[in-house]
């Protein structure tokens, strides 16, 4: 501590007019920084990218087990992403409670709903970014497959792309909702990854659960762009896994005493 | 200006803060003094909207904190220096605060210099000592060029040089018209820093006022070879006293009615010999504070015994 300790200008200006509210774009940029500027966050995002690329090797190297189509390759790309993207989203909403830096964040912007909205926007941006990355990796994987002289169906449809994008975003939103509601990293991650298989297990004995709540069924319809006749089931799944826990999480975040 | 009116908070029906009313004027440093668990932190968190009061209000410059459009431009807060992300560097932490406040990031470098962290700016906060985190927290509180500061135990973890530095900084801040509310569990720390004092115990304000007034000696020590007779004489004269130190008695004279002359007269009237009669060296504030904290500290021991 060799620097001079004597304070100089402290910048007190009692006459300055009160500045306006924090623009939402600034909140989003700050939340983006927080989500990407730590070593832990970068490892997680690197792992997400690596797993997406790594999964892509499977249909390239084991062609007999996979349809050699764009849609099929995109599904493979999504396998690792729908495990890690919800974790990224959960940590976005729980990390500051665990580190207790909510104390700083909510004194910087006491309208907590705006902070939540900014985190939600960043989560969706990361999900969208992951979708673009997955699309590029898929293209590269198909390129490799084609180079090996394989017969491909390069049938890239708008439906396949939007289905893949929406599927990733739904998984992001599931993580967002659990993180916002439970506000504890370990609890939210554990709950997310035990409740989903538990529902899937229930689905084996009840078609009602399987068709309406099990995301392995309902959100897969989204991934496969198979909306016909499934809109009510998909909608109910979104209400169950996203809308209700997210709404409860918003209320809980706004009301919670920061101790 | 920081004002609270009858702030009250209970956790699970246990009262933590009871009817706390404060008024911190621009240009002053208000020390918020109380033992551990007295309710200082909860009161401060209610002022900045982190904890919702059951009753009562708090305002900064006349507005509730949560209605300030960009609060860090009005009031800087340091509530818990350990509540920072350990994986972020000191500079990154301040840069986020600067962007939220909407001030130029040049100010980050200025404040890193001011708090003596320029050399450690790139290190992760997780590697900082508590004293360094306090310095970073003070820098974070100052980043938005606020006109008020709310600091919870800012001296914690600072070395003597750091404490002296912080006192100078806060005095300078107040002398430029800033309002400071700082808490401490150490009387001498508050005595050296603050010019107004609010003492809190068990969630309620027990005394408040200008430090000079509170520090003015408010007890008289009386000693007699026959303390029993002296005590009896005081009782007859309806003068409150406490036994001690030693076989002497201490009389509270803060009301102004009782002087050394009054006590000498009482002793003469009852023919009690006095061997000592003087203003007490330990001031009333110190006695009050020690009696409050001693009572708190004694409770668990009694429970264990």
pLDDT digits (tens, 9 = 90+) for A63-81: 888 888 888 889 999 999 9
Arithmetic mean of pLDDT, A173-195: 96
For B210, the token pair is 């200008």
State the angle between helix axes of B106-114 and B90-101 in degrees (0 to 180), rounded to the nearest 10.
Answer: 130
Rg of chain B (C-alpha set): 23
Partner-chain contact B45 A258, CB within 8 Å: yes
Tell me the average pLDDT of chain B.
Answer: 89
Q: How far apart are CA A241 and CA A215, in angstroms?
A: 9
Please list every residue in chain A whose beta carbon sits closer than 8 Å to the beta carbon of residue B50. 103, 106-107, 257-259
Residue from A8, A9, A12, A96 to probe the interface with B (highest B Cβ count within 10 Å): A12
Is A13's pLDDT higher than 50?
Answer: no
Instruction: Give the helix ranges, DSSP H, for B102-247.
Output: 106-114, 130-142, 160-175, 187-193, 211-215, 227-236
Is B245's pLDDT higher than 90?
Answer: no
pLDDT at B96: 96
Task: Look at residue A257 and give its three-state secondary structure.
Answer: coil
Task: For chain A, say whether B278 makes contact (Cβ under 8 Å).
Answer: no
pLDDT at A9: 46
pLDDT digits (tens, 9 = 90+) for A41-51: 899 999 999 99
Please list every residue in chain B whose beta carbon sits closer than 8 Å to the beta carbon of residue A97. none
Label residue B65 by pLDDT band (50, 70, 90): very high
pLDDT at B304: 41
For A125, the token pair is 């941006």
The minimal CB distance from B169 to the residues A3, A7, A22 is found for A7
Q: Which one-letter DSSP state was computed for residue B124?
A: B
Q: Who contacts B202 (Cβ-Cβ below 8 Å, separation ≥6)?
A: B18, B38, B39
Q: How far apart are CA B151 and CA B159, in angstroms?
A: 17
Highest mean pLDDT among A147-156, A223-232, B119-128, B210-219: B119-128
Partner-chain contact B92 A2, CB within 8 Å: no
Q: How far apart are CA B277 and CA B263, in angstroms?
A: 8
Is A14's pLDDT higher than 60?
Answer: no
Arithmetic mean of pLDDT, B35-56: 95
Label residue B300 by pLDDT band (50, 70, 90): very low
Distance of residue B279 Cα from the nearest chain A Cα, in angstroms: 39
Partner-chain contact B72 A19, CB within 8 Å: no
Is B297's pLDDT higher than 60?
Answer: no
Q: Closest Cα partner for B190 from B148, B147, B154, B138?
A: B154
A130-161 residues labelled b (16+ CB within 10 A) or e (exposed): bbebbbebbbebbeebeeeeeeeeeebeeebb
Partner-chain contact A107 B97, CB within 8 Å: no
Label residue A245 by pLDDT band (50, 70, 90): very high
Distance of residue B69 Cα from the nearest chain A Cα, in angstroms: 4
pLDDT digits (tens, 9 = 90+) for B153-174: 999 999 999 999 999 999 999 9
Label residue A150 by pLDDT band (50, 70, 90): confident
Distance of residue A146 Cα from the nearest chain B Cα, in angstroms: 44
Is B303's pLDDT higher than 50?
Answer: no
Q: Who contacts B53 (Cβ-Cβ below 8 Å, separation ≥6)?
A: B7, B8, B9, B17, B46
Q: Who contacts A29 (Cβ-Cβ below 8 Å, separation ≥6)?
A: B99
Partner-chain contact B85 A2, CB within 8 Å: no
Partner-chain contact B48 A110, CB within 8 Å: yes
Rg of chain A (C-alpha set): 22
Task: For chain A, say whether B109 makes contact (Cβ under 8 Å).
Answer: no
Nearest-CA residue of chain B relative to A10? B173
Please list every residue in chain A whose beta carbon sits closer than 8 Å to the beta carbon of residue B162. 1
Q: How far apart are CA A109 and CA A233, in angstroms?
A: 38
Tell me the average pLDDT of chain A.
Answer: 89
Task: Look at residue B56 and give its three-state secondary structure.
Answer: strand
Partner-chain contact B142 A8, CB within 8 Å: no
pLDDT digits (tens, 9 = 90+) for B251-294: 877 666 778 888 888 889 889 888 988 877 656 677 677 766 66
Cis peptide leading into residue B192 (ω within 30°): no
Arithmetic mean of pLDDT, A91-118: 96
B197-230 residues labelled b (16+ CB within 10 A) or e (exposed): bbbbbbbbbebbeebeebeeebbbbbbbeebeeb
Size of chain A in residues: 259
Arithmetic mean of pLDDT, A34-47: 92
Q: How far apart are CA B146 and CA A160, in angstroms?
A: 53
Is B298's pLDDT higher than 80?
Answer: no
Task: For chain A, say whether B28 makes contact (Cβ under 8 Å).
Answer: no
Q: By percentage, how much of chain B surpasses pLDDT 90?
A: 63
Label residue A6 by pLDDT band (50, 70, 90): very low
Residue with tokens 């920072």: B84
pLDDT digits (tens, 9 = 90+) for A51-67: 999 999 888 888 888 88
pLDDT at B293: 64
Partner-chain contact A3 B113, CB within 8 Å: yes
The minimal CB distance from B51 to the residues A1, A40, A257 is found for A257
Rounded to two decimals, the pTM is: 0.85
Distance of residue B106 Cα from the nearest chain A Cα, in angstroms: 13
For A236, the token pair is 């109910």
pLDDT at A10: 52
């Amino acid at each position: 501590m060799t620097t001079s300790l004597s304070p100089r200008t402290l910048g007190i200006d009692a006459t300055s007019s009160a500045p306006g509210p924090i623009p939402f774009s600034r909140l989003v940029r700050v939340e983006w920084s927080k989500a990407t500027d730590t070593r832990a966050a970068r490892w997680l995002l690197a792992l997400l990218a690596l797993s997406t690329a790594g999964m892509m090797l499977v249909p390239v190297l084991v062609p007999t087990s996979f349809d050699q189509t764009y849609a099929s390759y995109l599904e493979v790309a999504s396998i690792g992403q729908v495990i890690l993207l919800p974790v990224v989203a959960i940590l976005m909403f729980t990390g500051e409670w665990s580190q207790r830096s909510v104390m700083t964040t909510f004194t910087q912007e006491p309208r907590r709903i705006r902070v939540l909205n900014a985190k939600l926007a960043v989560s969706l941006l990361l999900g969208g970014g992951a979708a673009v990355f997955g699309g590029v990796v898929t293209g590269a994987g198909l390129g490799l497959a084609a180079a090996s002289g394989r017969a491909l169906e390069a049938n890239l449809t708008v439906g396949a792309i939007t289905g893949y994008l929406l599927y990733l975003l739904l998984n992001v939103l599931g993580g967002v909702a659990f993180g916002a509601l439970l506000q504890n990293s370990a609890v939210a991650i554990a709950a997310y990854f035990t409740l989903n298989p538990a529902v899937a297990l229930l689905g084996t004995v009840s078609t009602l659960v399987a068709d309406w709540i099990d995301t392995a069924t309902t959100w897969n319809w989204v991934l496969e762009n198979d909306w016909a006749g499934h809109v009510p089931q998909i909608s109910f799944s979104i209400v169950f896994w996203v809308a209700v826990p997210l709404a409860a999480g918003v209320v809980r975040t706004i009301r919670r005493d920061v101790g | 200006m920081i004002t609270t009116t009858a702030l009250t908070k209970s956790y699970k029906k246990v009262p933590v803060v009871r009817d706390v009313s404060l008024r911190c004027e621009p240009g002053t440093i208000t020390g918020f003094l109380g033992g551990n668990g007295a309710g200082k932190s909860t009161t401060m968190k209610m002022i900045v909207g982190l904890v919702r009061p059951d009753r009562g209000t708090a305002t900064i410059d006349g507005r509730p904190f949560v209605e300030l459009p960009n609060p860090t431009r009005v009031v800087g807060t340091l509530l818990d220096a350990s509540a920072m992300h350990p994986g972020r560097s000191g500079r990154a932490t301040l840069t986020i605060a600067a962007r939220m406040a909407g001030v130029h990031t040049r100010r980050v470098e200025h404040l890193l210099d001011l708090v003596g962290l320029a050399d450690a700016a790139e290190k992760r906060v997780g590697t900082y000592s508590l004293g360094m985190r306090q310095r970073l927290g003070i820098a974070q509180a100052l980043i938005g060029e606020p006109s008020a500061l709310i600091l919870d135990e800012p001296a914690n973890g600072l070395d003597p040089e750091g404490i002296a530095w912080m006192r100078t900084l806060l005095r300078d801040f107040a002398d430029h018209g800033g309002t400071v509310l700082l808490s401490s569990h150490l009387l001498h720390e508050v005595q050296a820093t603050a010019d107004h004092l609010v003492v809190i115990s068990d969630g309620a304000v027990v005394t408040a006022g200008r430090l000079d007034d509170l520090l003015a000696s408010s007890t008289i020590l009386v000693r007699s070879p026959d303390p029993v007779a002296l005590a009896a004489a005081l009782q007859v004269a309806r003068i409150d006293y406490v036994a001690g130190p030693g076989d002497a008695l201490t009389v509270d004279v803060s009301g102004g009615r009782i002087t050394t002359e009054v006590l000498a007269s009482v002793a003469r009237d009852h023919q009690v010999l006095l061997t000592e009669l003087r203003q007490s060296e330990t001031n009333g504030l110190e006695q009050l504070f020690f009696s409050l904290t001693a009572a708190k500290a004694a409770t668990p021991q009694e429970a264990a015994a």
